[in-house]
């Protein structure tokens, strides 16, 4: 039987409506439900249920357009605000803790996959690569990995499910760690001067609060589409490796080129264009709804328990790397948990954790999350390659 909603415009309207509805409910109702189950989970799950029940088409040209054009565009404008130097200036060794957490995600991926690979489909290594993108950077990086790895709907469903399940457990741990500050600082031998420096910081992010003009919006559109077009033209001309099942495919090259060009532009006047990050995040959630519409509910259910087991082992491995770096570098608990939140939670969670531990660090927590966006795709590709080696394909 033909799906009830199959017209491209109708599909787009449905996906936008779903995204809008759950953010409206979160803001208007203030339900505690959204504390434990963020809107992202519903934005993915509802289109998946609609497509699995035949209400929404699971294949459409609009999905291909979102994947091939909208995704590179949103990645470009999302990375324009990255300012690595400012984050390093304020957080210092805290940035190294974040990079250590990133290393924990990369190395933990193949170990977690090895733990459960006999219970998963052969292509499940792509799900680990996608989740690595989210845990190093954010949802945008996870979406980028779908294109880079040509991941299936089942793969992305596992990644989204595990991302949200771990978030429900990991965020309270990061928030509750504030109560351990006195003991932790004695244990890792934190220099009292560092604590005073963080308490006295007055750092502010460079942000344009004025209403964007028509010209600025046009400039932003030009930058996004120009990078998208240039990356596509270059990627199809680059060699693919290995030839049988390339990890460096045209899609991978496309995402790498988009990321690199966007980071170069972040050092240009383009970084001052207003609303780039807000527009990118809106498009990210629309793309998550698009991923849900293409997922297969039955394939997801059979593998989910094992993937969740691997994910919790994996996040513990990441946490161990953060704690080890904090002990070696003598970094305070506040910087440590913000570093982990910038990795695992991205720009949505890092400010929440920072506000709980030290409100003055909210601006720099956002910068650290943006750093995660910058390195997320590169690191996730390494994690995916290691998982592929474990898979033996």
The predicted pLDDT at position 359 comes to 85
138 lies in a domain? yes
307, 163 Cβ separation under 8 angstroms: no
Residue 58 carries which DSSP code?
S
> How far is the C-alpha of 253 from the C-alpha of 98, rounded, in Å?
26
Return the CATH number at 140: 1.20.1530
80, 266 Cβ separation under 8 angstroms: yes
Q: What is the mean pLDDT of the chain?
A: 91
> How far is the C-alpha of 223 from the C-alpha of 226, rounded, in Å?
5
Percentage of the chain surpassing pLDDT 90?
A: 74
> How far is the C-alpha of 381 from the C-alpha of 391, rounded, in Å?
15
Interval 31-62: pLDDT, tens:
888 877 889 889 999 999 999 999 999 999 99
Number of structural domains found in the chain:
1
Of these ranges, 23-32, 179-188, 209-218, 312-321, the one predicted with the greatest mean pLDDT is 312-321
301 lies in a domain? yes
Read out DSSP for 207-241?
Answer: ---SPPPHHHHHHHHHHHHHHHHHHHHHHTTSPPB
The predicted pLDDT at position 92 comes to 83
Please compute the mean of the pLDDT values over residues 172-191 and round it to a whole number. 92
SS3 21: helix
291, 146 Cβ separation under 8 angstroms: yes
Q: How far is CA 156 from CA 72, 126, 150, 165, 193, in A?
A: 18, 8, 10, 14, 45
The predicted pLDDT at position 244 comes to 64
The predicted pLDDT at position 332 comes to 93
Please compute the mean of the pLDDT values over residues 381-392 and round it to a whole number. 95
The predicted pLDDT at position 209 comes to 53
Interval 132-149: pLDDT, tens:
999 999 999 999 999 999
Please compute the mean of the pLDDT values over residues 176-193 and round it to a whole number. 91
Confidence of residue 253 (pLDDT cuts 50, 70, 90): very high
Radius of gyration of the chain (CA): 20
> How far is the C-alpha of 348 from the C-alpha of 39, rounded, in Å?
12
Read out DSSP for 303-364?
Answer: HHHHHHHHHHHHHHHHHHHHHHHHHHHT--HHHHHHHHHHHHTGGGTHHHHHHHH-GGGHHH
The predicted pLDDT at position 208 comes to 47
286 lies in a domain? yes
SS3 196: helix
3 lies in a domain? no
Phi then psi for residue 241, to 5 deg, are -145, 140
Please say if the pLDDT value at position 383 is more than 90. yes
> How far is the C-alpha of 226 from the C-alpha of 206, rounded, in Å?
25
Read out DSSP for 68-122?
Answer: IIIHHHHHHHHGGG--HHHHHHHHTHHHHHHHHHHHHHHHHHHHHHHHHGGGS-G
Write down the residue that tokens 């513990």 correspond to. Answer: 316
Confidence of residue 390 (pLDDT cuts 50, 70, 90): very high
2 lies in a domain? no
The predicted pLDDT at position 153 comes to 86
Q: Which domain holds residue 328?
A: 8-205+212-391
Please compute the mean of the pLDDT values over residues 319-343 and round it to a whole number. 96
1 lies in a domain? no
The length of the chain in residues reads: 393
Interval 304-313: pLDDT, tens:
999 999 999 9
SS3 248: strand
Interval 120-133: pLDDT, tens:
999 999 999 999 99
Please compute the mean of the pLDDT values over residues 79-84 and round it to a whole number. 86
326, 336 Cβ separation under 8 angstroms: yes
145 lies in a domain? yes
The predicted pLDDT at position 243 comes to 66
> How far is the C-alpha of 143 from the C-alpha of 1, rounded, in Å?
30
> How far is the C-alpha of 75 from the C-alpha of 281, rounded, in Å?
9
276 lies in a domain? yes
SS3 242: coil
Please say if the pLDDT value at position 380 is more than 70. yes
């Amino acid at each position: 039987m033909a799906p009830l909603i199959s017209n491209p415009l109708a599909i787009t309207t449905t996906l936008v409506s779903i995204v809008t509805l759950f953010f409206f409910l979160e803001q208007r109702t203030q339900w505690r439900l959204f504390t434990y189950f963020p809107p992202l989970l519903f934005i993915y799950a509802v289109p998946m249920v609609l497509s699995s029940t035949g209400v929404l088409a699971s294949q459409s040209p609009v999905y291909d357009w979102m994947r091939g054009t909208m995704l590179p565009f949103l990645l470009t404008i999302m990375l324009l605000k990255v300012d690595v130097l400012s984050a390093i200036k304020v957080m210092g060794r805290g940035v190294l803790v974040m990079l250590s957490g990133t290393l924990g995600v990369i190395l933990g991926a193949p170990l977690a996959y090895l733990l459960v690979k006999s219970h998963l489909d052969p292509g499940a290594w792509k799900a680990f690569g996608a989740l690595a993108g989210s845990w190093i950077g954010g949802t945008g990086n996870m979406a980028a990995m779908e294109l880079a790895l040509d991941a299936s709907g089942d793969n992305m469903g596992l990644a989204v499910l595990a991302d949200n399940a771990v978030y429900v457990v990991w965020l309270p741990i990061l928030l509750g760690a504030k109560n351990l500050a006195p003991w932790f600082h004695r244990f890792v031998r934190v220099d009292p001067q560092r604590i005073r420096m963080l308490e006295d910081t007055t750092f502010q992010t460079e942000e344009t609060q004025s209403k964007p003009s028509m010209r600025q919006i046009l400039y932003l559109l030009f930058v996004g589409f120009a990078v998208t077009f240039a990356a596509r033209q270059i990627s199809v001309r680059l060699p693919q490796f290995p030839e049988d099942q390339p990890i460096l495919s045209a899609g991978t090259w496309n995402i790498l080129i988009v990321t690199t060009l966007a980071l170069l532009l972040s050092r240009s006047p383009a970084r001052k264009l207003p609303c780039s990050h807000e527009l990118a995040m809106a498009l990210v959630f629309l793309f998550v709804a698009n991923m849900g519409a293409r997922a297969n509910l039955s394939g997801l259910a059979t593998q989910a328990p094992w993937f969740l087991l691997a994910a919790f082992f994996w996040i513990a491995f990441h946490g161990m790397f953060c704690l080890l770096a904090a002990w070696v570098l003598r970094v305070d608990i506040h910087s440590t948990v913000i570093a982990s939140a910038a990795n695992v939670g991205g720009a949505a969670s890092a400010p929440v954790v920072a506000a709980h531990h030290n409100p003055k660090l909210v601006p720099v927590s956002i910068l650290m999350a943006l750093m995660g966006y910058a390195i997320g795709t590169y690191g996730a590709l390494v994690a995916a390659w290691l998982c592929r080696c474990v898979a033996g394909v």
